[in-house]
Structure 1
Amino acid sequence: MNAWGLSEGGTRAQGLEALTDRQRAVLRCLARGLADHEIARVLAISQRQVGVVVSEILGALSLRDRMAAVVYAHETGVIRLPLPR
């Protein structure tokens, strides 16, 4: 693992295959900077369920925290934000 808690090498993108559609949707929302209550509203699930899904994502991808999940999402192309000008 590197300093961000991410796996080295090509295994990062392969980890996405282990995620369910709901987990990928939550990961995309996290990467966009949404808070749990916002994710719950966007995905029409409870805030408690968002927390459960985030924990599942962290476990499935062997990440240590939400920030590592955000970095992971950006590095693996789950989400691409425009670069600031």
Structure 2
Amino acid sequence: MNAWGLSTEGGTRADGLAVLTDHQRAVLRCLARGLADHEIARVLAVTQRQVGVVVGEILRALDLRDRMAAVVYAHEIGMIRLPVPYAPV
């Protein structure tokens, strides 16, 4: 089990990143940070339509069912690190 409570079957799930282009990884990173398509388009200087196309390519390449699965995937493999919320004891 990993931090999200989902099992990783077979090899490491990070192996899937090898099939993505640098641009696709940049879009996935933005998705994982919670950006909407229009925000990703602005950050990466592409059109919103291009972002949608790339998201579809990512889902197919990684065999994921939807955008949320892509976000979970990115977090599971440690593509981005978010701070752990402080929990007073």
Asked if 1:18 corresponds to 2:28, the answer is no
Q: Percent identity?
A: 81
Distance 1:52 1:78, change over 3 A: same
Give the C-alpha shift of residue 7 in structure 1. Answer: 5.9
Q: Distance in 2 between matches of 1:74 and 1:48?
A: 25
Question: Over aligned residue pairs, what C-alpha RMSD do you find?
Answer: 1.7
Identify the structure with bigger relative contact order (alpha carbons < 8 Å, sequence gap 6+): 1
Deviations 1:33-70 (A, max 9, x none): 00000000000000000000000000000000000000
Q: Distance in 2 between matches of 1:37 and 1:49?
A: 10
Give the C-alpha shift of residue 74 in structure 1. Answer: 0.4
Structure 1 residue ranges without an equivalent (≥5):
1-5
In terms of Rg, which structure is larger? 2
Asked if 1:55 corresponds to 2:68, the answer is no
Number of matched residues? 81
Structure 1 match to 2:4 = none
Distance 1:7 1:48, change over 3 A: farther
Give the C-alpha shift of residue 11 in structure 1. Answer: 4.2
Structure 1 match to 2:72 = 71
Q: Distance in 1 between matches of 2:22 and 2:8?
A: 22
- TM-score normalised per structure 1: 0.89
- TM-score normalised per structure 2: 0.85
- Residue 65 of structure 2 aligns to a residue whose secondary structure is coil
Asked if 1:40 corresponds to 2:44, the answer is no
Task: Name segments (4+ residues, structure 1) moved above 3 Å.
Answer: none
- Residue 81 of structure 1 aligns to a residue whose secondary structure is coil
